[in-house]
Chains A and B, each alone.
Chain A
């Protein structure tokens, strides 16, 4: 584990206000999800999960086919599909288009994919203003922070935090009523929508058979982003493609429920190409940027590639007892929580943060709530193995490796195992049968020290089970 990861975890755990904010907000989302997926409300919930998993499996197994079909159908509507290998490809495309069209201002709706490629920073570096229009994302852009949560990006900010931020950054009178804060943001953003040259959105689904992009949202800012400016660019990972429009009957039932506990989101938009003759609104140009950025690296591994089934609902974050303690910013990349813990090592390489797959008690709550049934705990276990292989290649972590080799040897030699256990019992403090708070300094090292830093330890019994069994 890197020092930075360790420090971020420590700092988050030590911040009582943050602990309360994150635990409360995730708890609310978690409870709402449970309510709207209950058998009485959605009797076919488990069946829908099975179907969603089957559709995603089929798509990822046949990704090339569906991407080509999607591309053909987008182009038949007069849109254009742009394949991008990485972050530079995406920003180069946007910058080049902006230059050719003389664009200065960009409005953006919420998109984890653009966060993944640092699009705002890259555009700003070249003098383009890019404004986030989702309220949570707008707050974070003002605060110069990354999203804390896949679905609720400003989940960690209280209304008082936002009040202070708006006063400082926008020069407005301090206002702590959420509705009034929203109106302040709305006032700023309306101006931006009217003046913007380009709108950049994400995409929840790329529908192959209709060449359309489906986006769900609650604030209406996606509709404005994708229709007010003359140019609309949708940026999506290649794994977002689904075969048919009718597959949405499965996914739309699962996505809003899993994400926010809504039965359906406020807006569901289907965008298929630019404005056509006779239409009164819509952009003049329509582009879909399909991003790889490491995704194709997952395809050869039949087991781990199910990580690409993710529909970014964030349910695993709200269910995760680890995320609820360490929050989103402790994670080493833009994707946090259990899904972040499995895709970060696969997109960025296991040595990006070798501690990440281990930051889990393997409780399985993530897998239980995943609407597309990604076996997250199993993938974490596989990634732990990958970390060890990578360490072995680089000659790292040799002492732990040796410890586990000794462990395997002892556990296959029952007589040695018994002797080792009794030796430990003979030197350990007995605590007079009570639980033990501390051990003498020379013993307080490694795992024992770590255990005792938070908890008492059990006194070692005078006889092991096998001794008691023999003597009975």
Chain B
């Protein structure tokens, strides 16, 4: 029997993109992990934190800490939600040393999906096949807070039949930004259209990312513009055979 991992699928994948969570579980099980899903899980609290409601974010963060206390390793299909736990929880509990100790223990256990594969499982070839031309969108929090750049590209390079074409620039924000997307909708939409120009410029059929939220923004704008480019989470690509 392989090692245990817990899924934190994020509220967005749970409610809107369940296939991403299933694909992630598939890939992990194929690599021999025993996957569980702690049923008490909901959200990491980022929407409240980014909107300035720190007390409410703390309540949700405490729930997360309790839910995953017993897990040995937690895998997350989102750079942004991972970074909330590993980089921002500590700022919420600066005045609570006991909770802060729990946070620091949790930071070591929580892994973004792509880097879990490359750095923890030590795998680059997961045996996937997808005949397609794809481009990769760097989610801002994965790239700048977690420093993830090469891991997803190394994984994509080992997918049989797949051609990766880099967009220029790949690192510019898609304009999602959580509640920013609706508080500053017009601005967020303008940023998305700039992103789409870069995507279309590659001639790729598919945009891949580590973050369902970026993909929702990008797919929403692509669809509105009547463009036939699809979006896929990296887990869905790696689950293809």
Contacts and interface: CB of A to CB of B under 8 A. Distances in A.
A461 B18 contact: yes
Nearest to A388: B52
A228 B178 CA distance: 54
A381 B92 CA distance: 11
Contacts of B140: 361-365
Given A458-B220, A465-B22, A468-B18, A9 B186 contact: yes
Given A1-B183, A358-B183, A321 B18 contact: no
A99 interface: no
B52 A464 contact: no
Interface in A349-379: 355, 357-365, 367-368, 378
Interface stretch (B34-42, B111-119, B150-158): B34-42
A460 B16 CA distance: 6
A417 interface: yes
Interface stretch (A67-75, A159-167, A285-293, A405-413): A405-413
A360 B144 contact: no
A466 B185 contact: no
A456 interface: yes
A362 B177 CA distance: 6
Give the secondary structure class of A's interface: helix
B144 A364 contact: yes
B14 A464 contact: yes
Nearest to A421: B15
B130 interface: no
Interface stretch (A80-88, A242-250, A446-454): A446-454
Interface stretch (B97-105, B121-129, B168-176, B199-207): B168-176
A365 to B, nearest CB: 7
Interface residues of B, number: 69
Interface in B186-241: 186-192, 194, 216-217, 219-221, 223-224
A390 to B, nearest CB: 10
Nearest to A436: B223
B109 interface: no
B88 to A, nearest CB: 8
B47 A407 contact: yes
B63 A466 contact: no
A57 interface: no
Nearest to B184: A359
Interface string A386-422: 1110000000000011001101101110100100010
B9 A465 contact: yes
Given A322-B187, A455-B189, A404 B51 contact: yes
B13 interface: yes
Contacts of B171: 365
A168 interface: no
Interface stretch (B53-61, B68-76, B159-167): B53-61
A385 B143 CA distance: 25
B171 to A, nearest CB: 8
A135 interface: no
B30 to A, nearest CB: 15
Contacts of A357: 52
Given A447-B182, A461-B16, A454 B144 contact: no
B43 interface: yes
A412 B63 contact: yes
Contact of B13 (A447, A456, A465): A465
Interface in B1-57: 9, 11, 13-19, 21-22, 25, 37, 39-43, 45, 47-54, 56-57
Across the A-B interface, give the 9 residue pairs with the lowest CB-CB distance, nearest first. Answer: A361-B177, A454-B189, A455-B220, A384-B52, A363-B173, A364-B144, A465-B18, A363-B140, A450-B182
Interface of A: 1, 9-10, 13, 321-322, 325-326, 355, 357-365, 367-368, 378, 381, 384-388, 400-401, 404-405, 407-408, 410-412, 414, 417, 421, 424-425, 435, 437, 446-447, 450-451, 453-458, 460-461, 463-469, 472
Given A385-B53, A456-B223, A464-B15, 19 more contacts: A322-B187, A326-B187, A359-B180, A361-B181, A362-B50, A385-B54, A387-B52, A400-B51, A407-B56, A408-B57, A411-B11, A447-B179, A453-B186, A454-B186, A456-B219, A456-B224, A463-B18, A464-B18, A465-B9
8 contacts: A359-B180, A361-B175, A361-B180, A361-B191, A424-B15, A453-B189, A454-B188, A465-B13
